[in-house]
Structure formats: structure tokens, C-alpha cells
Amino acid sequence: MTTKTLTIGPKIQTALPGPNARRVLAGDEKFISPSYTRSYPMVAKRGRGIVVEDVDGNEFFDFSAGIAVTSTGHCHPEVVAAIQRQAAELIHMSGTDFYYESMVTLAERLSKIAPMPGPHKIYYGNSGAEAIECALKLSRYHTKRQHVIAFLGAFHGRTMGALSLTASKPQQKRRFSPLVPGVTHVRYPDVYRGCVGGQQDADAFALGCARYIEEKLFKTVLAPEEVAAIFVEPVQGEGGYVVAPTIFMQELRRICDTHGIMLVVDEVQSGIGRTGKWFAVEHTGVAPDMVCMAKGIASGMPLGVCMTKAEIMDWVPGSHASTFGGNPVCIAASLATLDVIEKEGLVRNAQEVGNHMLKRMADWPKKHRIVGDVRGRGLMIGVDIVKDQKTREYANADRDRVVEKAFERGVLFLGCGPSTVRIAPPLVVTKDEADIAVDVLEESISAAEANR
Ligand code: PLP
């Protein structure tokens, strides 16, 4: 693969899946857990920038970034070099029982970009779910309270604690109960669906979603002094790329301040530049108490981080730790990722290319009867596919068809929520590359529309 191919576009030269892909799929079916949620038979071999080549030599534009992970693009040379250098020096020592300098170096770096004033403290885990587990346990520990509030549509991970907060799809929870008790889910301000028919002003609706907590929950079933934390995604990811209005986030902050509750923002998907700011919560001006991050932080190496205001992380040795969390190689990848993001101006690029894409897609609800809504921030954009623009009924099968058709044309998107196409390319994507993907997506929408 050369850089030249990046500007030409996807190159599909076999039927999909190709012969080598079919061999891998057969092995996968035999050995691999069927719990994974593959949308189409893409068998990756190597990647560079926004291009992923499959095992049959087909080249795809990756507008999923391995589910919003490969922020600096696939195998950015500086990230690769940092991983190689670190692997030759020290692969593991366990920050739980020993010290190494890079744990501190990365913490200092993250503290500088934190969405709340410092000083800060940082916990290292291996995944988004582990960052959430930390926030869940810590919020209980610090406040000595048992209950937490989360939102319908939320996705916070699949470990038992994180899963208790998740409320995105029934199959994620079916047959796994009993989960961690003490979680109450309330409505997330999905303005597009909440204000169907335009009966209600969007801000009033969003404010109502937040006020329900204080005016209904706290006056009926949940004593506020027993609530440790409110967990919220400033942009719901798996739930459908739904943006929380500023007024909603501000009201959550007010409620938390009034009742001594921790405001935890889950930026596992939206953080580290994806939305055109380091953290999506910054678009709202709200300062959280804790922020969880993972996906984009190390360009594909496993690292989860829970960062809090320093005084909140007041637990004692042994109360929480993980053998591999903050592994030296992952930290080296993360430091290189942050360097590349800063040096190449990728946060600004996410904003600019994202705005360019949103502008190009803004009239789709007028042009395409199956497109209900186009929304997002930066390079976290959702295209909502509907059965009927008036009722805004979800069109899950049509959405899946759109995603499949784009795959056949060489662009990788994923679905999210009941009927949204998720657009989340690496932050290095150019406007030219974005134009190619937008064209392919529109063709795929037209094809799905014609098939209906
Ligand atoms: N939180 C959010 C917002 C996510 O999008 C995800 C994963 O998609 C998680 C938490 C869980 O992360 P992981 O899959 O790394 O455990």
C-alpha cells in the first residue's frame, strides 16, 4: 500500500468475502465466541492511515476506525516506532506493585488537557469498561453512598459493574442478572425522537429529562443523599450517536452540585479529540468530577483511564488495581498518540472535516425519504435511518442494508443505536477522503431506498 492509494479511494478486486476471507470466516465460526457482533465479513490484514487491506488484497476506507479507536490512523509510523522502542526496553513491570516513570508522564499530559480544573489523579486500566468500573467503585467509596443514575440508551461496557449501567440493547443484559444493584436509568435527551412532531421545544425537552431526576425520582423512590454518581455520555455512542444538549449537561451539573453527587462523564468513545475538542463535554462548558476514556487514547493499544479531581481519589492501597493496567507499551503508544494529535493538529482537523461532512449531509433528510436525521460533533456523526420521516420509526433492517452496501463499495461504517449509521473515521482523515466516503454512503442510501 502506498500513500497514493489513499487519495484514489477504496479498491475492491474480489467478490466479498474473497477466498482467503472465506477460509478465515470458517475458522472463526468454529473457534470464536458467537457473542461478537460482526456486521459484515471484513477480514483485516494490514492498515495504514484510513485504509485497511483485507486478506484478499481489497482496500477499504475505514470510517469506523476500529470502533472509534485508531485516532491517529492505522499504524501511524510514530506510534509504531514508540511501541517498538518500548517493547525492546520494558514490556511489563506492573504499576500496581512497582513504579515506572511513563505512568507519571502520561498522567501529567492528561492532566493538562483535562475538562475540569486540577489537580487530578489518574487510574489506569485496560479498557473502557475498566475505566467505568473504577469510576463506579470510586464514586461509591468516596461518597459512601450506594446508588447511581445512568441513562436509557447508554453503553458503558460489558463487565458486570459497567453492564449494570449499560441500557442500550436487551441482548447485552439478557440472562446475566442479577447485576450490580442500585442503578436507576432515566431518559436521555434524544431530541430528535423526544420532540417528534415538533410538539415540544428541544431545550424544554432536554431540561425536562434532567429535571425529572430531581422533581420525580428524588421525590419518590430515590433519596438524593444516597446517590453517589450520575454517569452520562456527552454524546451517546453505541446508543445512536445522540448529542446531549448543553442545557441538559448544565442541569445535571447543577443537580450534582446541589446534592453532593459525582458527575461522571463517559468519554470512552467521544474523548481524545474525536468531537473536535479533547473531550465532548467541553462543548457544553460543564466541568465533570470524573472522566473515563479509552478508545482513542493509544491508537489501538489497550488502555483505559479514569481521571478525577485529586481529592476524590481518596481510596486506600489495595482497594482497586489491575496487573496490566497502564502497561509500559500501551503508555508509550498513548504518549506518541497525544504527540501526533498535537503535532498534526488532529483535534482541529476533526472539527473541520466533521463540519465539512455534516454540511454535505445536511440536506439528506430532504433528499432521501429514509434519512430522518443527521447529527453529531466533529468526527462522531450519526445518520438516522427511518421507516417514515413523520413518525421517525426506527428502520433497523434498512440501516443494516446501507452499511452492507457501503462495505460492498469499499467503505467501512458500523451501525449504532436501533437505526443509525455511525461515522467515526480516524482523526487524520482529509476532506477529499471524507468526500469519497460521503459519496459512497449516499449511493448506499439511495440503493437501500430503491430496494425498499
Ligand atoms: N463506554 C463507552 C461510551 C463505549 O462506547 C464503550 C465501548 O464501546 C465502553 C464504555 C466500553 O469500552 P470497552 O469495550 O473498551 O470495554
- Residue whose Cα lies nearest atom 1 of ligand 1: it is 156
Residue 41 burial (C-beta neighbours within 10 Å; 0-12, 13-18, 19+) = middle
- Using CA atoms, how far apart are residues 147 and 131, in angstroms rounded to an integer? 18
Residue 19 burial (C-beta neighbours within 10 Å; 0-12, 13-18, 19+) = exposed
Q: Same domain, yes or no, for 323 and 365?
A: no
Beta bridge partners of 292: 266, 306
3-state helix, strand, coil in the chain (%, to 5): 45, 20, 35
184 backbone φψ class: left, alpha, beta (φ>0; ψ -120 to 50): beta
Number of structural domains found in the chain: 2
Question: What is the atom index within ligand 1 of the atom nearest the CA of 158?
Answer: 16
CATH number, position 409: 3.90.1150.10
- Using CA atoms, how far apart are residues 206 and 30, in angstroms rounded to an integer? 47
- Residue whose Cα lies nearest atom 12 of ligand 1: it is 128
Q: Please choose, from the candidates 254, 298, 306, the residue with its C-alpha nearest in 3D space to the C-alpha of residue 272.
A: 298
Look at residue 152 and tell me if it is in a domain. Answer: yes
pLDDT score, position 1: 42
Name residue, grid cell 457501503. 406
Q: Same domain, yes or no, for 132 and 278?
A: yes
Whether omega for the bond prior to residue 178 falls within 30 degrees of 0, making it cis, is: yes
Domain boundary among 343, 358, 377: 343
pLDDT score, position 198: 64
Look at residue 13 and tell me if it is in a domain. Answer: no
Average model confidence (pLDDT) for the chain? 96
**Backbone phi, psi, residue 254, to 5°:** -60, -45
Q: Same domain, yes or no, for 296 and 384?
A: no
Cell matching residue 278? 479533547
Q: Same domain, yes or no, for 255 and 398?
A: no
**Which residue out of 132, 156, 159, 297 has the highest number of ligand 1 atoms within 8 Å of its CB and is therefore the one to mutate?**
156
The DSSP element (H or E) to which 373 belongs, if any, is strand 371-377
Look at residue 7 and tell me if it is in a domain. Answer: no
- Using CA atoms, how far apart are residues 309 and 228, in angstroms rounded to an integer? 15
**327 C-alpha to ligand 1 centroid (Å):** 19
Predicted confidence (pLDDT) at residue 197 exceeds the cutoff of 80: no
**210 C-alpha to ligand 1 centroid (Å):** 23
Q: Same domain, yes or no, for 338 and 369?
A: no
Residue 183's alpha-carbon distances to 33, 36, 191, 250, 257, in angstroms, are: 29, 26, 24, 22, 20
Look at residue 38 and tell me if it is in a domain. Answer: no
Give the pLDDT band (50/70/90) at residue 58.
very high
111 lies in which domain range?
78-343
Q: Same domain, yes or no, for 356 and 336?
A: no
Q: Same domain, yes or no, for 324 and 358?
A: no
Worst-scoring range by mean pLDDT, 30-34, 307-311, 388-392? 388-392
What are the pLDDT digits (tens) for 72-82?
999 999 999 99
**388 C-alpha to ligand 1 centroid (Å):** 31
Q: Which amino acid is at 270?
A: S
Look at residue 68 and tell me if it is in a domain. Answer: no
**114 C-alpha to ligand 1 centroid (Å):** 19
Predicted confidence (pLDDT) at residue 308 exceeds the cutoff of 90: yes
CATH number, position 155: 3.40.640.10
pTM equals: 0.97
Residue 343 burial (C-beta neighbours within 10 Å; 0-12, 13-18, 19+) = exposed
Q: Same domain, yes or no, for 49 and 95?
A: no
Q: Same domain, yes or no, for 146 and 214?
A: yes
Look at residue 408 and tell me if it is in a domain. Answer: yes
Which residues surround ligand 1 with Cβ inside 6 Å?
127-129, 132, 155-157, 233, 237-238, 266, 268-269, 294
Q: Same domain, yes or no, for 114 and 192?
A: yes
Look at residue 4 and tell me if it is in a domain. Answer: no
Predicted confidence (pLDDT) at residue 235 exceeds the cutoff of 50: yes
Instruction: Summarize the confidence of residues 282-296 as an average pLDDT.
Output: 98
pLDDT score, position 451: 86
Domain boundary among 326, 343, 360: 343
- Using CA atoms, how far apart are residues 292 and 303, in angstroms rounded to an integer? 11
What are the pLDDT digits (tens) for 119-166?
999 999 999 999 999 999 999 999 999 999 999 999 999 999 999 999
Q: Please choose, from the candidates 48, 18, 111, 87, the residue with its C-alpha nearest in 3D space to the C-alpha of residue 299.
A: 48
Question: What is the atom index within ligand 1 of the atom nearest the CA of 154?
Answer: 3
Predicted confidence (pLDDT) at residue 452 exceeds the cutoff of 90: no
Q: Same domain, yes or no, for 154 and 287?
A: yes
Domain boundary among 300, 317, 343: 343
pLDDT score, position 2: 40
Any idea how long the chain is?
452
Look at residue 3 and tell me if it is in a domain. Answer: no
Q: Same domain, yes or no, for 321 and 405?
A: no
